[in-house]
Amino acid sequence: MKSPKLPLIIAVAVFLFVALGLFFAGTDKDADRAKVFRRFTDFRAGGKTELGCVRSDSGSIGDMLGGLMGGSTNGISTKSRVSIKVPSETDIDMGSGNSSRSKAEILAVVKARTPGLQNVYNKYFKLKPGFAGKVTLKFTINQEGNITSISIASSTTGYVEFDEAVKNMVSTWKWKSLEKKAGNTTLTIPFNFDIPGDGWTSPVL
């Protein structure tokens, strides 16, 4: 039979972990500290683990700990409220000329590397909560699979620093190498950054 004190022991352990993180971080975040104590008090009163129910860009205990201690969650699972719409083949504009690469080949890499853009969005969303929009990039892929030139064709985010971060991330992407006689591929592709929903997210400890 499970001990009725076990949830309380787990909550106390999490509380102590957060408190130690705040102490060693040496940051002045009185509001966050008060929030943690308030959540812990709610647990004592209602028996529910509400420590991570913080209305922010993410709703899990891992994201809350990372935010309070000024660093990453180091492997703690998180659930973000922001998202990226992965482009489809119809979104890719390759112009009217012949291309040495197919849309399917290009899209395969885009899908595989989109999680990196999710991390960029999460980072800048914390600095400017609520922003969203579409960043359209134009770039050229050479026969070795590297991007040789890239520019921002258009953007609706109103956040220049974020747009540049997206461009810099995409510029590191790489496709498979083609035979020497293959030419370059130039394309335009949009990335939609959005907030799918707004509300409270309760973590599972």
In the chain, where the domains are located: 6-69, 83-194
- What fold does the segment set 83-194 form as a domain? RNA Polymerase Alpha Subunit; Chain A, domain 2 (2.170.120)
DSSP assignment string, the chain: ---TTHHHHHHHHHHHHHHHHHHHHT---HHHHHHHHHHHHHHHHH----TT---SSB-SHHHHHHHHHTS--TT----BS-EEEPP-GGG-B--SS--SS-HHHHHHHHHHHHHHHHHHHHHHHHHSTT--EEEEEEEEE-TTSBEEEEEEEEE-S--HHHHHHHHHHHTT-B-----TT---EEEEEEEEEE----S------
Per-residue pLDDT tens digits of the chain, which is 205 residues long: 555 566 677 777 777 776 666 655 554 445 555 554 555 444 444 444 433 333 334 444 444 444 444 444 333 333 456 888 889 999 999 987 778 899 999 999 999 999 999 999 999 999 999 999 999 999 999 999 999 999 999 999 999 999 999 999 999 999 999 987 788 999 999 999 998 754 323 223 2
